[in-house]
Amino acid sequence: MDFAGKVVFITGGSRGLGIALARQFARQGARLALCSRSEEELRTAKEDLASLTDAVLTIPCNVASAAQVEETIAAVLDRFGRIDVIVNNAGIITVGPVQSMTREDFTVAMNTMFWGPVNTTLAALPHLEKTRGTIVNITSIGGKASVPHLIPYCCAKFAAVAFSEGLRAELCCTGVKVVTVVPGLMRTGSHRSAHFKGNAHAEASWFGVAASMPGLAMGADRAARRIVAAAARGQAEVVLGVPAKLLAYFHALCPGAAAETLGLINGMLPHGMQQDAVNWDAATSRSRGIEVLTAMGRKAAKDFLQPGAAA
């Protein structure tokens, strides 16, 4: 697909991977519709994209609400008259041991990262069938192999993988392509928007460092280029990052051994029962050591418009 003149709708499009994807699509001449829960973040994103395109529509929307999503799709059609690509990217991360999680943590994760893509897809599908468009679902390696201290996130991502793969099978004769994206860790600065439970300081420390390390975490611009290229080809699945590929293969071939290995990793992770979630700044208390170890992640947070990153 040539994206010049095409209309691309991105959920969670105001920051992180969402804004990286918006920039890549804009460079290829696409017209953009971005949604996010934050009007302020959407204003910042629109200003950021101004040097690339003036064809940007920003709409506050909580993708967990089917009614809000339907109104948002209607607004995109009213502005542009068509939809060619939807990118289901909105996400939320809560880090901590399962003993610190509540039913609400699972509900919030499922509402955003499973029901969000379902709501968006069902609302946009009749219009995508007219344009023989593309659905891009941003899932996670956590949707292939559930990793410790991210269980609500992984549950939602497993469901998103199933939804995406089933969609591709069902829509294969309609002309609508479905691309399942399976990223490992990416340097998008998203650790600054995560919430931490249990031993919050220790949880934030390991997660922030892991999400900042070259070799372990892929750069967001590189990931965005790979995703846009996969969307252009209508590729069935793209797994991003060597660690994610290794884990996916290992889990597929040796699920028992993979689970035992992840269990050993879990033994090295922090323990704690605190159920009150705290944000990055509260969890790290601006620790000098953590600031040094997450320097690349901190730069990514500024580059990809994470809230509070410039502080």
Question: Residues with catalytic annotation?
Answer: 153
Task: Extract the tokens encoding 117.
Answer: 């893509």
Q: How far apart are CA 241 and CA 126, in angstroms?
A: 34
Tokens encoding 115: 């029901």
What DSSP element (H or E) covers 197? none
Helix (H, G, I), strand (E, B) or coil at 11: strand
Residue with tokens 């051994």: 257
Residue 4 has which token pair? 């010049």
Determine the distance from the C-alpha atom of residue 184 to the mean position of all C-alpha atoms in its chain, rounded to a whole number: 11
Task: Give φ, ψ of 241 to 5 degrees.
Answer: 100, 135
Which H/E stretch holds residue 35?
Answer: strand 31-36
Tokens read off for 151: 């269980």
At 57, which helix (H) or strand (E)?
A: strand 56-60
